[in-house]
Structures are given as C-alpha cells and as structure tokens.
Chain A
C-alpha cells in the first residue's frame, strides 16, 4: 500500500491543557476509503484538523502526498478537500459563487465545466443561483461537499458527512463517494453510523480518548472479531433448557421456539457439530437453522467497552 497520508507520533494538547491526541500513528493508502470511528470527543475532528492545517499539532509529523503539512503546506493542502463537521457556509453568497470561491483558493481558475459537473453530481445545479441561506440544511451540506470537491482534490476528508442527513441524501453520498474512489480519490470519513463504515470502508480505524486502538482491513476485522450466531428453530416450544445443553450457553427466545448459539467462526472447533448431536440426543426437533455474522457495530461496541 502506497501511503498518501503518513501520520507519526502526532499529539495535541489544547490550551486548556486537555490532551486530545496522544501519539497517533496512522497511514492512509492512496485510493482507499478509510473510516475513522470513535465516540464523541475521541479526537477525530482534531486529527483531521491537524492534517488539513486548521489546528497546530503539539508534537509529531504529518505528510500528505509526501509533503510535510507545516513546512510544505501549499503542496500538502493542495491535495486535500475538506468537508468539516459543522455546517459553515457563507449564507449570503450564491451557491455557484461560493463553489467558485473555493476553487480559487486552491489556485484554480474558473473552470465552469468542472463546477457545473460537481453541482450536477450533488443535485445542486438547479440551485446554483440561489443564496445559500435559502437552502435546507441537507442542501447546505451538499454545498459544503461541492466546495470541497471544487478543486478536484486527491484526498477528501468527510467529517461526519451524514450527521443530520436523510436516508436519500445519505445514499446519494455513498454513491458519490464510490464514484470518487473509482476515479482514484482517497476518502477519509469519520462517522458515528457504523453501518456507514461497514458499507463503505476498505479499512477501519477506531480512535478512543486520543489513541488509535485499532486499524484493520474491514473484511479482516469482521472475520477476526466477527462472532457468528446460530439460531435453531424448534418444532415445539422448549420450557426450560435441559442440563445437557448447558455447556453451549444457549439463549432461549421468549416463546421457547428458538435457541441462539454464539460461536467463534475462526475457532478450530466451532462446537456446532456437538450442539447438533446434543439437540438430537435431547429429542428436540429442529425445523430451521440460521447463522448471522455480527456487524461492525457489535465489534465496535465491544471494542470501546473493552478498552474502558
């Protein structure tokens, strides 16, 4: 993996003395979609802000496309488009003007074709002559994305892009992020919606109290930490679990018609064969079987609670 962002030993203490980041090391590969997950106040925004040049690091080093973000800030920043968490747009500007403004800041002349393309992609083209303040919140968020994409960045940071956004816009955004990835853009997003990371990300990082506690390929993560559940549907309700089944730590549904067995999919012996034999030995009639892989959300919750 060719790292487009390289973060080493990054630390940040705010003036209040609060340490928001404690020696973070992280590499982002070119062209990947990286999801940064973490509870409120974990340091996600702080991390992004340092990479983008909005916040100064207390210690450590960040390079973007090989350029140090402090010493070679021009080259580093030129590669980045940022959609911040807060909805901050110039309310009194026209949509097309504010997008063109962003393009100008990044040393690009007025390329109306590109701006038009971005506006269309985000369904803003009809609103191009409207004042930003006359748009709905979701539309304003689209404007912010359009601004970030105006200069054709190689890297796009989305800080909680789908907070307060309806299902449709969220889908649109996911589709747009995929299209961007297809054109080679690296996307880093922070989110509280784990389904988003699960749906979108190639890799997932989990940050907690200013420390990266895990970085993993999403698929590997799901495999490694993924617990599977086997649900057995019974023909007749079971009032109480027979003692022979106790070692399997089964969960009985309220109506007694389903038993759930949780197992480690990676284990040499998953215990399923033994369970099936015991069920038969107890004379329980099985009508159906389902297995379910635990979601990233389960993994995340268990990680964050484990670490606390």
Chain B
C-alpha cells in the first residue's frame, strides 16, 4: 500500500476545499439555518409531532443527510473531474499508485469533507432546536457509511462525465429527487399505502431512516434493514469503481 500517495492525494484535495471554505461550509450552514427558520419554526409550529418527535427535531437528521448526500456526491465528482479536465491526471496515471489508493485518497477526502459538514449542520441545528442523540456511535457510523458511499458514487460520475453538463446532470436529475422523496421532510408512514411501497425502492429512504433512528431510536424501516441496504449500496458503488479501473474505462485509451 502506497500510504504516502494516499496522504498526498487526501491533503491536496482537502487543501482545495479549504481554499474555498466559505462556499464549502458557510453556504450549506446558511441554507440549513434557513430550512430551520422556515420549516422548523414557521411551519413546524403548526405541525403535530411526527413519529413521536417535534417536526423541527424530526427534520434535523433528514436535513443533515440531505446535505451529506449532495455534498459527498458533488465533492467527489468535482475533485476527480477537475483532475481529468485540467490534464493533471497524467501524474496519477504515471505514478506507482494503485486504483485502490487513488480512490482512497479522493473518496476519503470527499467523505471527510461531508462528514465535517454534516457535523457542522447538526451543531447549527442544535442552535434552533433541542434534541438528543440516542445512539451517537451509530449516528457516526451512518454518517460515515453514507458519506463514503455517495463519495464513491460521485467519483464514478466524475470519471464518467465528459463535460460539465454531464457532471451536473446525474445529481440534478437523479439524486436530488431521490433525496427530496427520501423521507427527509416527512415520515414514510405519512404516505398512502401504495406510495409507501414505491418509496421503498428509493435507497435514500434507508439511509435517512437509519440516521433518524440513531437520533431518536425509531425510523421508517428497521435499523437492521437500513444498515443492510446501506452496505449493499456501498458494495454496488465499490463494484462499479473497481470495474472502471479494471477496464480503464474513460481513463486510458
């Protein structure tokens, strides 16, 4: 294992993030605060409890998850895409670095960023709403699992994308709808029975549910199911990435 290479990639990716720390961190914090002002305070006060918790508190894990998903995806996709686009990928391809090491560096950095972001959002939320976290260890576990899975997914998109439009299209057309329909703002139990079934096809439901369970001890599906599904998505993403590198898809001609 070429650890210095993993470290070098990780450090340079993090440096890129810190250079734009205002966009990277402050923007999501502001938008999350706005969510809480609008949904939590203005609307939430008129809503009854959802699943045994106040609506504002109910929102916290979902909103954090929403940011983690989208940021993991865009950070990882952007990181490798820029390397490709600027041509600096030549260095990575000609270095004694295995694809496992390259992915670890890039995805590790993307995941680290979104975990930090997730924690900052949860802390910000705490300023608006009071809540306890029942299973903090599981909370961190779900946070990590989601961040890594979606960073892998983003990495694959970054490699696949041939231009900036393609880089945006998957997050925009697929992931954003899935996250909004993934039970971030509502409990799946609030849906009509038919849609409850349909919604179970949405991978995000399991992640949000598991994450919410770690906060309040209950979710839309059993936590074991959440965990299993999260691991399945992780495995799928790993398989896709390893296929990309085994075949040299879009990397080597």
Q: A residues bordering B, Cβ < 8 Å?
A: 14-15, 52-56, 73-78, 80, 82, 84, 86, 88-93, 97-98, 100-109, 147
Contacts and interface: CB of A to CB of B under 8 A. Distances in A.
Contacts of B92: 105
Interface string B92-107: 1111111000000000
Chain B binding surface SS class: helix
Given A82-B90, A108-B4, A109-B4, A56 B16 contact: no
Interface of B: 2-5, 7-9, 11-12, 15-16, 19, 86-88, 90-98, 248, 252-253
Contacts of A56: 248, 252-253
B17 to A, nearest CB: 11
Contacts of A106: 4-5, 95-96
A106 to B, nearest CB: 6
Nearest to B19: A92
Nearest to A90: B88
Contacts of A82: 90-91, 94
Most buried by B among A52, A80, A97, A107: A107
B252 A104 contact: no
B93 A54 contact: yes
Nearest to A109: B4
B15 A93 contact: yes
Contacts of B95: 77, 102, 105-106
Contacts of B91: 82, 102, 105, 147
Contact of A105 (B86, B97, B252, B253): B97
A51 B252 CA distance: 13
B12 A90 contact: yes
Most buried by A among B9, B92, B94, B98: B94
A104 B8 contact: yes
A105 B98 CA distance: 10
A230 B193 CA distance: 100
Nearest to B2: A107
Contacts of A53: 93-94
29 contacts: A14-B253, A52-B94, A54-B93, A74-B2, A74-B98, A75-B96, A77-B96, A78-B96, A80-B94, A82-B91, A88-B87, A88-B90, A90-B86, A90-B88, A92-B19, A93-B15, A97-B15, A101-B8, A104-B4, A105-B4, A105-B5, A105-B8, A105-B95, A106-B4, A107-B4, A107-B96, A108-B4, A109-B4, A147-B91
B37 to A, nearest CB: 34
Nearest to B92: A105
